[in-house]
Amino acid sequence: MNKITQILFFILTINLSTQSIALGTLSSQESSRYQITDILEPQEVNDTQRVVKTLSDKVLSEYVKGYARRNVHAKANGCVKSEFKINNNLKNTTLAKGIFKPGASYKALIRFSNGSTNGSGDDRDGDTRGMAIKVFGVNGTKLIKDPIYKDSQDFVLLSHPSFFLNDTKSSAEFFERFDAGKISDFLHIPFDIGLNGTITAAKMLSQHIDNPLFTQYYSVTPYQLGSKDINPHVVRYSVRSCNPNMQVKSDKTSGKNFLRDSMQETLKNKSACMEFMLQDRGALSGVDLNNYDNWDEDKFPFVPIAQIIIPPQTFDTAGNNTMCEKLSYNPWHSIEDHKPLGVINAMRGMVYDKTSNVRRTMNNDN
């Protein structure tokens, strides 16, 4: 597969990082249970239905029962146990909402991954990387319940600060053109996603890292912080090493699975520390949730709010790897205080949930 084809294929799947797509369309009843009808307009729901249908037809031709895989982020670098510890002395008390109570501590399970659709791909290839965090022991009603862990809160992040698709219309048109498989449709894709979208997708695909534990990750999309009844704020998340300037040196720098190997080497005899940060844009009422260009980090800096401590462990075992593939991560596995915001998050909420359910059904994991 040449580089141009890789870029096009990457663009096809990165924004809907799940494993398989459910048949049919999204009914008004389904939309209601996702609690996102306050975000999507009827036409946007229709666009999302188009995406679901397009990807459903594609998945039916690629998977058989018992072998369903994620459409993207198919290859895990590893799932690791960790402790999610909220800082004791938060300087900005307005950030102490939801699970971010000073001094609180939670168990968590983190899945690091490559963005590619190839579950046995080469870690040396350029690619965006993923970090999905499942925090346990979180009480309260969830917007969508995790199918296994009812007390979990998910945070889903990428190693690039922006997406290439920012509205439902261009998303639906893009997926339909790509699935048609015609050269004329391929050539029209840059016009659908625009110059910025094309450049962003290429940058995401060209990323190279040395170790998942020393990479910075971003939520990209905005999230609510606090209950809707008490003037909530709008935030984005980012995670990085507690020692971001540390030079990573490892003997495990070769081979197609070197990211898994280098992470296992790091955790063999010592812990790893990562900072969980918030970027606060202010009160919800004053933020354009679908404008992704107004998050200047100089004006709205990321503020450390928690530490993620990953203790020494042997995670690369058959049992742990099997468990890892059964997990479902979705930003809508969330209490209201951390509700996903904006059109792209709303589309993700619909597609991720249907996708995960179908994958689990195909693999007899329900």
Write out pLDDT tens, residues 209-256: 999 999 999 999 999 999 988 889 999 999 999 987 776 666 656 789
Q: Which two tokens stand for residue 123?
A: 């870690």
- Answer whether residue 354 shows pLDDT above 80: no
pLDDT at 251 (0 to 100):
61
The Cα–Cα gap between 351 and 117 comes to 17
pLDDT at 140 (0 to 100):
93
The Cα–Cα gap between 72 and 24 comes to 21
The Cα–Cα gap between 143 and 331 comes to 9
pLDDT at 12 (0 to 100):
40
Task: Provide the CB-side half-sphere exposure for 359 (13 A, CA).
Answer: 23
The Cα–Cα gap between 277 and 92 comes to 12
Is 139 within 8 Å of 158 (Cβ atoms)?
no
3-state secondary structure of 114: strand
Contact residues for 289 (Cβ-Cβ < 8 A; gap 6+)? 222, 234, 341, 342, 343
Q: If you average pLDDT over residues 189-211, what whole number do you get? A: 88
Q: Looking only at Cα atoms, what is the longest distance across the chain?
A: 57
Cβ atoms within 10 Å of 138's Cβ, excluding its own: 23
Q: What is the DSSP letter of 103?
A: T
Residue 153: phi and psi, rounded to 5, are -130, 125
The Cα–Cα gap between 287 and 241 comes to 29
- Answer whether residue 166 shows pLDDT above 60: yes
Q: If you average pLDDT over residues 34-42, what whole number do you get? A: 65
20 pLDDT band, cuts 50/70/90, is very low
Q: If you average pLDDT over residues 337-362, what whole number do you get? A: 83
The Cα–Cα gap between 229 and 147 comes to 28
The most confident of 27-36, 149-158, 346-355, by mean pLDDT: 149-158
H helix intervals, 85-182: 168-180
Contact residues for 281 (Cβ-Cβ < 8 A; gap 6+)? 222, 233, 234, 235, 236, 287, 294, 295, 300
- Answer whether residue 318 shows pLDDT above 70: yes
Please name each of the domains of the chain with its CATH number.
3-362 (2.40.180.10)
The Cα–Cα gap between 110 and 118 comes to 20
Share of the chain above pLDDT 90, in %: 48
- Answer whether residue 142 shows pLDDT above 90: yes
pLDDT at 173 (0 to 100):
86
Share of the chain above pLDDT 70, in %: 85
Q: What is the mean pLDDT of the chain?
A: 83
Is 281 within 8 Å of 222 (Cβ atoms)?
yes
Residue bearing the bigger pLDDT, 69 or 303: 303
